[in-house]
């Protein structure tokens, strides 16, 4: 039962660090990771990254992706479809190319490591973007950047699928994986459309009892995660899409608005559970694996610069064309600079499977944490100019 002792220690310190940071506008995951670093084997040595803690961290990540799907407004994604997809891909490509060529030619890094790091730094965290904009506002910007970060997430979980499949000994056919991912996602989205428009009794019956709604939603998340894993994709894809199916209940025309009310209650309750327990457990575990003395100053400075500049260069022009306002376009580009859970999940996989070492892992996680702090600051500066 040693893991209970570790769990208590991690949660206490995570809250002691996270709550004050949240009050001053910094995402609490920074405090959570710091708690793991301090209690971990490389500083105080009180907590070790055990298998039990890793299991809890993996479940936490599934629930976090499920929650992300729940809170994704599919109607907004469709409304700004072209701009969202273009902005998401443009930000990824610009950041990837800038990071890859810089660390390859300046640092002379091995191409496989450089490729992996560039991919990890190319993603934008949906949860960080949402938290940044929720605190300050900007509805038109929110729809665009959250949609674009969703595109980033899809690309990220696709990469995770490739890495996971390779690590499990499967011969990865990229063409097969692309087709499988496309078919799986299209099937789920079509199913959700049928449920919303034709099989309305699904949401009607589901929303009659809160416990039935909550239980069905959580079970669906794990079932779809399992299905995704069985067909060679990342379980994160399945969890996200399960959240999207349930979240589309807000589109169901319910004269009594019962479905929307119960969905809102469920999202609020789940967010509390995530914030109190599961999110701290995932990020403290990330911190347990981080080795402060292994952080490379040169890689940190280069990676941070390319991660921020790449997103601004790639996203701002598309945002400007969509929003028809240069200041809003720049603000959207700034909001897209934040990283979060998927990046750390990808880095953890890379470390577990030997693609990167402790130096690269510790350095890129440090960059991720820095962008979590920088993104809200940059956005708030530009948002004040807009208002």
Which of 2-6, 89-93, 147-151 is predicted least confidently?
Answer: 147-151
Q: For 294-306, what is each residue's pLDDT tens digit?
A: 899 999 999 999 9
Alpha-carbon distance 96 to 152, whole Å?
12
* pLDDT at residue 349, rounded to an integer: 76
Is the pLDDT at 383 greater than 90, yes or no?
Answer: no
* pLDDT at residue 171, rounded to an integer: 47
Whether the CA torsion 254, 256, 261, 263 is positive or negative: it is negative
Angle at which helices 51-70 and 2-23 cross, to 10°? 40
Contact 375, 91 (CB under 8 A): no
* pLDDT at residue 247, rounded to an integer: 82
* pLDDT at residue 329, rounded to an integer: 84
Q: Which domains does the chain have, with CATH numbers?
A: 59-278+296-350+360-386 (1.20.1530.20)
CA–centroid distance for 19 within its chain: 21
Using DSSP's 3-state secondary structure scheme, residue 221 falls into helix
Alpha-carbon distance 272 to 266, whole Å?
10
The two structure tokens encoding residue 188: 């789920």
Report CA-CA distances (Å) from 65 to 8, 91, 170, 237, 261. 24, 21, 24, 8, 22
For residue 275, what is the DSSP state? Answer: I
* pLDDT at residue 157, rounded to an integer: 63
CA angle 283, 342, 5 (to 5 degrees): 20
Is the pLDDT at 2 greater than 90, yes or no?
Answer: no
Q: For 216-248, what is each residue's pLDDT tens digit?
A: 889 999 999 999 888 777 777 788 889 888 887
Alpha-carbon distance 201 to 188, whole Å?
18
Note every long-range contact of 109-112, with CB atoms under 8 Å and residues 24 or more positions apart, other chains counting. Answer: 112/355
* pLDDT at residue 95, rounded to an integer: 92
Contact 275, 75 (CB under 8 A): no
Q: What is the mean pLDDT of residues 80-100?
A: 87
Q: For 124-176, what is each residue's pLDDT tens digit?
A: 776 666 666 655 555 667 767 777 777 776 676 666 666 655 554 544 566 67
Q: For 238-289, what is each residue's pLDDT tens digit?
A: 888 898 888 877 776 665 567 777 888 888 888 888 888 888 888 888 888 8
Give the percent of the chain with pLDDT over 90: 12
**Single pTM value for the model:** 0.74
Whether the CA torsion 220, 224, 225, 227 is positive or negative: it is positive
The per-residue pLDDT of the chain, averaged, comes to: 80
Alpha-carbon distance 88 to 86, whole Å?
6
Is the pLDDT at 290 greater than 50, yes or no?
Answer: yes
* pLDDT at residue 340, rounded to an integer: 72
Alpha-carbon distance 79 to 76, whole Å?
5
The owner of tokens 């890495």 is 163
């Amino acid at each position: 039962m040693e893991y209970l002792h570790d769990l208590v220690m991690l949660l206490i310190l995570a809250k002691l660090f996270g709550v004050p940071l949240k009050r001053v506008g910094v995402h609490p995951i920074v405090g959570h990771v710091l708690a793991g670093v301090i209690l971990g084997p490389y500083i105080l040595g009180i907590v070790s990254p055990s298998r039990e803690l890793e299991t809890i961290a993996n479940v936490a990540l599934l629930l976090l992706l499920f929650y992300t799907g729940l809170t994704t407004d599919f109607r907004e994604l469709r409304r700004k479809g072209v701009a969202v997809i273009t902005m998401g891909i443009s930000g990824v490509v610009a950041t990837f190319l800038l990071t890859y060529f810089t660390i390859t030619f300046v640092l002379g890094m091995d191409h496989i490591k450089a490729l992996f790091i560039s991919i990890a730094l190319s993603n934008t965290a949906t949860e960080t973007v949402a938290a940044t904009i929720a605190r300050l506002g900007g509805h038109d910007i929110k729809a665009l950047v959250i949609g674009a970060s969703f595109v980033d997430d899809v690309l990220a979980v696709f990469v995770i699928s490739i890495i996971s499949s390779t690590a499990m000994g499967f011969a990865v056919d990229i063409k097969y994986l692309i087709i499988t991912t496309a078919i799986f996602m299209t099937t789920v989205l079509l199913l959700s459309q049928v449920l919303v428009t034709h099989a309305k009794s699904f949401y009607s019956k589901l929303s009659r009892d809160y416990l039935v709604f909550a239980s069905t939603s959580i079970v669906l998340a794990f079932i779809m995660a399992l299905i995704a894993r069985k067909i060679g994709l990342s379980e994160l894809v399945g969890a996200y899409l399960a959240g999207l199916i349930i979240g589309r209940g807000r589109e169901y025309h319910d004269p009594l608005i019962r479905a929307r009310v119960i969905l809102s209650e469920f999202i609020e309750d789940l967010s509390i559970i995530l914030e109190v327990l599961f999110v701290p457990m995932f990020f403290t575990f990330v911190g347990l694996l981080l080795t402060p003395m292994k952080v490379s100053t040169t890689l940190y400075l280069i990676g941070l610069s390319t991660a921020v500049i790449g997103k601004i260069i790639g996203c701002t022009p598309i945002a400007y064309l969509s929003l028809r306002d240069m200041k809003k376009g720049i603000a959207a580009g700034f909001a897209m600079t934040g990283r979060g859970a998927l990046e750390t999940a990808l880095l953890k996989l890379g470390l577990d499977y030997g693609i990167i070492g402790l130096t690269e892992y510790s350095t890129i996680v440090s960059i991720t944490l820095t962008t979590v702090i920088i993104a809200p600051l940059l956005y708030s500066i530009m948002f004040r100019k807009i208002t």
